[in-house]
Amino acid sequence: MSASQPKVGFVSLGCPKALVDSERILTQLRVEGYDIVPSYDDADVVVVNTCGFIDSAVAESLDAIGEALAENGKVIVTGCLGKRPEVIQQAHPDVLSISGPQDYASVMSAVHLALPPKHDPFIDLVPDYGLKLTPKHYAYLKISEGCNHRCSFCIIPSMRGDLVSRPVDEVLREAEKLARGGVKELLVVSQDTSAYGVDMKYAAREWRGREYATRMKGLCEGLSELGLWTRLHYVYPYPHVDDIIPLMAEGKLLPYLDIPFQHASPRILKLMKRPGAVDKTLERVQRWRAICPELTIRSTFIVGFPGETDEDFEQLLAFIDQAELDRVGAFAYSPVDGAAANALPDPVPEEVKQERLARFMALQAEISEEKLERKVGTVQRCLVDAIDGELAIARSMADAPEIDGLVQIQDGEAAGLKPGDFCDVRIMGSDEHDLFGLVGDDEDL
Ligand code: SF4
């Protein structure tokens, strides 16, 4: 790479959707001949992709902008917090430009203005799947932007707008390119994966000589043709989720669902304005497991939502106890600036929230630990993420990167494993989060 190329520093904050935005901007920067550099000192200008989901994310974003300004001085801000430019301008009036999420054109114009591109034919050579921030063997696949719901605790629709789905053939072509680039696992992300295609009236598109509907099942059928691991995130329990469970049972899709249930009391779910019918959730989870016993369910919950009574909370505990979810994240409710839930009466006192959170987490830890223990003695298909000394750090079908557990393969290095390899691992032990196992015959852990 030529030393005289214009250099851009990049700070990427927020969720996987924001990460995909960062990847697209980075790809465009590289296509246009910009060097991406890892330090403020080396950069001619810095782009900060912000998150604005909750107050702590706003604070983190403002801190990152401040640091980039102090260290470099030329800063372009984009991402979710860009939807509230007044917050940024008030804290940091010297930023060069502010744009919202997915506004790649505005970011590129601001970069062009601050740092005109130089033409060099050699640096046009970027991979056809673009640049990624994830390791080479897995990638996030964003299928839509925005959301048609109006959950009372969330301001994402006001920042990202209503649902806009990408046509299924476009998504499948991107997945195909990622597969050609060495990706082994696709992580399907959106705000509401179950709603995919509703804005396009589920239009059919052709890919590889066959028609696929722009809807969750059509997408899953197309992705299964690629022979990769496909993992679905942010799925709401609409009735048509039932249609994809058989694909999981047939091994066409990872038997894994990330469903943000958020609560189990119908009264609280109504106050939250959550999508998806909730009355029969437990029966549905049990029916899914009858069709696909391997199914792993990950979820997130909010405890201490305004108006949550002891009875509502007990209902939540009973649900997680009976549903035996595999992986669970939980948060004590905290108000988000601009969210409708802020106007709800009966806030739960902070100490009650914390006490409920601790009880919730203690119960779930027992459930998760017991579920992992049941895997000891089984053989699990795993994908290796890294080699660490003698260990290979891998994930089973039940583990999404970053948020779930790991499988530590004790003889991974001796077995010659590399990141991106698949292998069958005999599970020899477990703890609250992780599994331990061997690929070879040595039982001496
Ligand atoms: S489904 Fe609800 S929580 Fe999720 S992005 Fe839409 S409004 Fe927000």
Assess whether the C-beta atom of 157 lies below 6 angstroms from ligand 1. Answer: yes
**pLDDT of the residue at 121:** 42
Number of domains in the chain: 3
The CATH number of whichever domain residue 242 belongs to comes to: 3.80.30.20
Residues 330 and 236 in one domain: yes
Cα of 250 vs centre of ligand 1, distance in Å, is 30
Residues 196, 172 within the same domain: yes
pLDDT at 368: 92
Cα 196 from Cα 128, distance rounded (Å): 25
CATH of the domain at 423: 2.40.50.140
Look at residues 332, 356, 374 and tell me which one is the last residue of a structural domain.
Answer: 374
Same domain membership, residue 279 and residue 182: yes
Compute the distance from residue 120 Cα to the ligand 1 centre, in Å.
Answer: 43
Q: How many other C-beta atoms are found inside a 10 Å radius of the C-beta of residue 349?
A: 9
Residue 133 falls inside a structural domain = no
Within this chain, do residues 153 and 253 fall inside the same structural domain, yes or no? Answer: yes
Question: Is residue 121 domain-resident?
Answer: no
Q: Is 151 annotated as a binding residue?
A: yes
For the Cβ of 154 lying below 6 angstroms from any atom of ligand 1, the answer is: yes
Q: What is the pTM of this model?
A: 0.76
Rounded to whole angstroms, the Cα distance separating 81 from 330 reads 24
pLDDT at 437: 96
* CA 238–ligand 1 middle distance (angstroms): 14
pLDDT of residue 159: 81
Mutation test of ligand 1: which of 143, 150, 154 has the most ligand atoms closer than 8 Å to its C-beta?
A: 154
- Could you give the CA distance from residue 384 to residue 372 in angstroms, rounded to a whole number? 19
Q: Are 289 and 150 members of one domain?
A: yes
pLDDT digits (tens), the chain, 445 positions: 344 688 999 999 988 888 888 988 988 888 777 888 989 999 999 999 999 878 888 999 999 999 999 999 999 999 999 988 899 989 999 999 899 888 887 888 788 888 877 644 444 455 555 666 778 899 999 999 889 988 998 888 888 889 999 999 999 999 999 999 899 999 999 999 999 999 999 999 999 999 999 999 999 999 999 999 999 999 988 888 999 999 999 999 999 999 999 999 999 999 998 865 556 788 889 999 999 999 999 999 999 999 999 999 999 999 999 999 999 999 999 888 888 888 889 999 999 999 999 999 999 999 999 999 999 999 999 999 999 999 999 999 999 998 899 999 999 999 999 999 999 999 999 998 899 999 975 554 4
303 lies in the same domain as 382: no
Whether 213 contacts 197, CB under 8 Å: yes
82 & 220 share domain: no
**Residue 84 belongs to what domain range?**
7-114
Q: C-alpha angle with apex 155: 151 to 160, nearest 5 degrees?
A: 110
Among 374, 394, 429, which residue terminates a domain? 374
pLDDT of residue 118: 67
Question: 154: annotated binding-site residue?
Answer: yes
CATH of residue 43 = 3.40.50.12160
On whether residue 119 sits in a domain, the answer given is no
Please say which residue of 356, 374, 392 terminates a domain: 374
C-alpha to C-alpha distances, 53 to 138, 348, 440, nearest whole angstrom: 25, 21, 45
Same domain, 77 and 222: no
pLDDT recorded at residue 123: 41
Distance from residue 151's CA to the centre of ligand 1 (Å): 5
